[in-house]
């Protein structure tokens, strides 16, 4: 709708469409944030999540639900920019966000280990899943 109204030079309809997108995104994001944060623990308990990790899982899901508004607005605003014919700005925003994400993760977890403490050549209790040297060392 954005590109059609923009191409037809119908500014009032374009403004109303963009306003509706932004408003609907805000309302739906707030609902998802609240329901997700409130229902995370009961849903994990319903799935019989082990007690040793349920607190971590709950924290992770709450962080995801609270962050859904940023993700939703990114998608809506990039869609609007593309509809207006500006796909370069959306790409630049994505590149900046990716670099910022890498920097923040690296600074938040300086002790994060990229190498597995168990070498693929050593005996392990997880030998039923063969690992290659690259994926085993980086992910395992």
Q: Which residues of the chain have pLDDT under 70?
A: 109-140
Residue 131's SS3 state is coil
pLDDT for the residue numbered 112? 54
Helix axes 11-46, 68-83, angle to 10 degrees: 150
- Cβ neighbours, 10 Å, residue 45: 12
pLDDT for the residue numbered 24? 94
Residue 132's SS3 state is coil
pTM above 0.75, yes or no: no
Q: Which long-range contacts (CB under 8 A, 24 or more apart) does 8-11 make?
A: none
Host H or E run for residue 139: helix 133-139
Q: Which of 46, 44, 65 is nearest to 54 (CA)?
A: 44
pLDDT for the residue numbered 77? 87
């Amino acid at each position: 709708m954005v590109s059609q109204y923009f191409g037809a030079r119908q500014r009032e309809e374009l403004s109303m469409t963009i306003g509706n997108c932004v408003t609907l995104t805000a309302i739906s994001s707030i609902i998802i944030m609240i329901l997700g944060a409130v229902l995370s623990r009961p849903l994990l308990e319903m799935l019989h999540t082990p007690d040793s990790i349920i607190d971590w899982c709950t924290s992770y899901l709450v962080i995801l639900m609270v962050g859904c508004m940023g993700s939703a607005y990114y998608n809506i605003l990039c869609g609007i920019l593309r509809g207006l014919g500006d796909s370069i700005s959306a790409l630049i925003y994505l590149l900046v966000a990716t670099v910022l994400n890498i920097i923040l993760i690296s600074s938040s977890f300086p002790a994060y280990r990229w190498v597995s403490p168990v070498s693929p050549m050593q005996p392990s209790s997880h030998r039923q899943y063969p690992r290659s040297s690259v994926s085993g060392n980086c992910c395992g």
